[in-house]
Amino acid sequence: MQAAELTPLRRLYKHSRLRKFVRRRRNAMFYHLTRLALLPPRAVSLPRALAIADRAGNLAYSTLPGLRRLALHHVAIAFGDTLSPSAQDDIARAAYRSAARCFIELAKLDEIRAHFDDYVSVEGWQHVDEVLALGRGGIVITGHIGNWELLAAYVARRGISLAASARRLEDARLNKLLTDFRTGNGMHVIHRNTPGSSTEILKVLRRRGVFALQIDQDIRTPSVTVPFFGRPARTPAAAALLAVRRDLPVVPAFAQRRAEGGHHFVIKPPIFPPGSGDRQRDIIEMTRQFSQALEDHIRQHPTEWNWWHRRWRRPPVPGLDLDADGNSSPTPATR
């Protein structure tokens, strides 16, 4: 799905002071709403809070028509030939409930942490041990699937030196709130596209740590275009760039909700660089494998992915993407 051309008026607004003002006010409102929303769950039990989350998710689905239409459109792209409109609606609605439940679980993490080993189960941890035994660090890839924040907290809790890539949020207060939460759970947050981020990533790997990335969104970062649910999708290339440049294994990992409550974490076997001698081809091939791993998991657990992200919105970006206009220059972090 190609990005729509901007009208002259929208192009003018995009670069105007008014847009910056509106964004600042919107971000400030979101910060205050987030702080406010954290309070009620902490006053009730976890089961009660999760039940409230289900109702909040249903309410959001009903009252946010723009995001609902976007989610339904993307579900149709993925499953339109195999599922009825009613079944597609069920997936999109359940995805809203899942997002609300994830928020509640983060608000109640202190309570969950007291019985973490009962609240979560893990499959495939031997693959983490296999990667760490190689003695050169590793990369974990995942997506906005299930409660990925809980997954990261669990990995750090197991004593793994874990760093995660994240976008620096425009509102400094909201950015600090989220960063403090992550660091408080044992993660080292590296904000992408900021001075020194490349050096921080290399330090983590040299200490034989693990660097985690989410690769399921079309964002303003060097990418390659690979298939995702049968359509070309810009996919961040950082994981493959690092893997190919430094000969690192990459482990897909996912969080999925259990029917009886809590989560099951699934860690897949590591993916190793092909080593063909053609770095750009290897980067594209690894990214294709990563994208396929995410798609396979989402197909099995479609109600846990954030369907409202514009996943197929842009073609390759000249001057940024490795497969656009012959641009194959690596980012500094991969050198």
**Is the confidence at residue 333, as pLDDT, over 70?**
no
pLDDT of residue 178: 85
The answer to whether 235 and 291 have CB atoms below 8 angstroms apart is: yes
Give the pairing of strands 187-191 and 162-166. parallel
Task: List pLDDT tens digits, range 124-180.
Answer: 999 999 999 999 999 999 999 999 999 999 999 999 999 999 888 878 888 888 888
Instruction: Classify burial at 150, counting beta carbons within 10 Å of its beta carbon; exposed 0-12, middle 13-18, buried 19 or more.
Output: buried
Averaged pLDDT for residues 172-192: 89
* pTM (predicted TM-score): 0.87
Structure tokens at 112: 């969950």
**Which is nearest to 60 in space by CA: 87, 98, 27, 21?**
98
Structure tokens at 273: 């660089």
Task: List pLDDT tens digits, range 201-239.
Answer: 999 999 999 999 999 999 999 999 999 999 999 999 999
Domains of the chain, by residue range, sit at: 8-109, 117-334
